[in-house]
Amino acid sequence: MEYTVAEAAELLGVSDDTVRRLADRGDLRVGKPAGHRMMLDGVALARFAEERHTGRAVAPGCPESARNRLPGLVTKVVKDKVMAQVDIQAGPFRIVSLMSREAADELGLEPGSMVVAAVKSTNVVVELPRT
């Protein structure tokens, strides 16, 4: 499978110009052009994305079982007497965390706080995008 520069940029969460620079530098493998459009090899793109995001956003030496770690910014915090809803923008992804109000208060979570969303799940739904 091959991707256009715009598709690759969206998948990597970077600009089109960044993808072009990465391709020019040889960091991303370019497939055969389709007309006048640069196409990027899907396997190489996946490998690059995996290598680029190591997933480690905690201090070295701190064992952790969660592998999906997404650095982001808190965009909204809604609290009641017991619970808190924390909205996080991690690149192009919106993540919503429900936690105790006590935990949110102890962490000092408020819009603009830099956080790491650690996601661990035994049930992940995978869908194909509509074309």
**Distance between the two ends of the chain, CA-based, in angstroms?**
14
d(C-alpha 29, C-alpha 51), whole Å: 14
- According to the model, what pLDDT value does residue 97 have? 93
pTM of the predicted model as reported, rounded to 2 decimal places = 0.57
CATH number at residue 42: 1.10.1660.10
- According to the model, what pLDDT value does residue 62 have? 62
Rounded mean pLDDT of 92-96?
86
Give the domain range for residue 83: 68-119
pLDDT in tens, 34-89: 677 888 888 888 888 877 765 545 555 566 666 788 888 899 999 999 999 999 98
CATH number at residue 112: 2.40.50.100
Answer whether residue 17 is part of any domain.
yes
d(C-alpha 40, C-alpha 32), whole Å: 8
d(C-alpha 81, C-alpha 85), whole Å: 12
pLDDT band at 104 (very low <50, low <70, confident <90, very high): very high
Answer whether residue 78 is part of any domain.
yes
Judgement on whether residues 8 and 38 belong to the same structural domain of the protein: yes
Answer whether residue 60 is part of any domain.
no
Answer whether residue 128 is part of any domain.
no
Answer whether residue 47 is part of any domain.
yes
